[in-house]
Amino acid sequence: MRIRASRTARLLVLVALSATGLGAVSGCGSEKGAGGPAEVAATRAQQAAAAWEGSFSAGVWRAGYYPMGEAVQLPRGGLRSQADKRAYQAQNFVLQGTLPTTWPKGGQVAWADGEALTRPMVGAQETYETLARAQVNEIPHLTVTGATLGEMTLYTSRGPATVPAWLFTLQNYTAPLKRAAVSPSKLPPPPVKPAHDLPASQLAPLGRLVRIAGAGRSVSVIAIHGACDDGPSADVLATRGSVVLSASVKNPETGNCSTQEREKQVTVKLNRPVGDRLLLDAYTGRPVPYGQPNGPSPSWS
């Protein structure tokens, strides 16, 4: 599995926003249907939901392994100092020791309902490199002294799952830092094309999924908006098989306005858990990818 930085994907989103008049998504929403400021957004959300419902792509999605939560778990109790937190955020690690050079070809992803899936394993060295991306290992840094193969639990498109993980030993810590060690499934081809040529005041692409919490009833996403608007907003259309988020920008200005894009987090509340329903972006017609700021993007994004 090659996990690449998400800057390229983020830039593509920003280019699309600029083309539609500077905008993006975020704000507050509730599970009342995709009313939105424009009827076109509601219509688009319904089209996306209908296209995925019962489709081949939906079947592939529900049978696959798609992480929708953080693939890294910090040592139990968290990082103990501000210096260690800065080092982690800067991805500044130093390896002092040896990492395993052999591992199983496949690892099992297991869900609470008894279903399981075998996915290709990622080696300890390659997994370590997804953590240690800093070019210069300056102070402060975190020191890795070794790793063993274990497991961890993370949120996926099919709910929480237990997956194989590399457990990295950190100097001065008794509990390990865990990183998922299996490759996500390949994203199926979307059954609907992206929306084009729509002003950001009607519909704009989402940035990324931040977290699913509250027993699956709270969904937080990142939206991008401009410097001269009233901020982003998001509406949600909930169906039996999907939760479709429609983002827009409130009162975007044109003309002599800064082209600086800004990010904002929005949390929408649902009447029932997301569960194994598809979490879709109405604009792109694709599942909303999970990702952290300046972090790796999912291989299926």
Task: Tell me how far apart the alpha carbons of residues 254 and 215 are, in angstroms, rounded to a whole number.
Answer: 41
Residues 45 and 144 grouped into a single domain: no
pLDDT tens readout for residues 101-153 = 999 999 999 999 999 999 999 999 999 999 998 776 677 999 999 999 999 99
At residue 22, the pLDDT reads 28
Torsion (CA) 171, 175, 181, 184 in degrees, nearest 10: -120
pLDDT over 90 at 175, yes or no: yes
Same-domain status, 82 and 56: no
Are 112 and 20 within one domain?
A: no
Angstrom distances, CA of residue 64 to CA of 156, 240, 251: 10, 19, 40
Decide if 301 is inside a domain: no
189 DSSP 8-state letter? P
pLDDT tens by residue, 151-167: 999 989 998 999 999 99
Whether the predicted pLDDT of 169 surpasses 60: yes
- How high is the pLDDT of residue 229? 64
Residues 17 and 150 in one domain: no
Q: Which of 118, 150, 180 is the last residue of a domain?
A: 180
Assign 205 to helix, strand or coil.
coil
If asked whether residues 102 and 161 sit together in one domain, one would say yes
171 domain-assigned = yes
- Residues 126, 81 within the same domain: yes
207 shares its domain with 251: yes
User: Which among 10, 9, 4, 5 is positioned nearest to 224, based on CA atoms?
Assistant: 10
Select from 246, 238, 300 the least CA-distant residue to 275: 238
Do 46 and 89 lie in one domain? The reply is no
Contacts of 181 (CB under 8 A, 6+ apart): 103, 107, 121, 122, 124, 127, 149, 163, 164, 165, 166
In a domain, 156, yes or no: yes
Within-domain flag for 294: no
* Per-residue pLDDT tens digits for 227-276: 666 667 788 999 999 999 998 877 666 666 666 677 788 888 999 999 88
Amino acid at 185: S
Asked if the structure places residue 289 within a domain, the reply is: no
Q: What is the pLDDT of residue 39?
A: 82
pLDDT in tens, 3-35: 333 333 333 333 333 333 323 333 344 444 334
Q: What is the CA radius of gyration of the chain?
A: 20
The parent domain of residue 222 ranges over 7-64+189-281
What average pLDDT does this structure show over 75-90?
94
Whether residue 128 sits in one domain with residue 161: yes
How many helices (H) and strands (E) in the chain?
5, 14
Tell me, yes or no, whether 55 and 197 share the same domain. Answer: yes
* Predicted TM-score (pTM) of this structure: 0.78
Q: Would residue 298 count as lying in a domain? A: no
**pLDDT for the residue 196:** 79
Kindly tell me if the per-residue pLDDT of 224 is higher than 50: yes
288 pLDDT higher than 70: yes
Number of domains in the chain: 2
Residues 90 and 174 in one domain: yes
Predicted confidence (pLDDT) at residue 183 exceeds the cutoff of 70: yes
Q: What is the pLDDT of residue 270?
A: 93
In a domain, 113, yes or no: yes
Domain assignment present for residue 203? The answer is yes
54 and 126 together in one domain: no
Please indicate whether residue 46 or residue 36 has the higher confidence score (pLDDT).
46
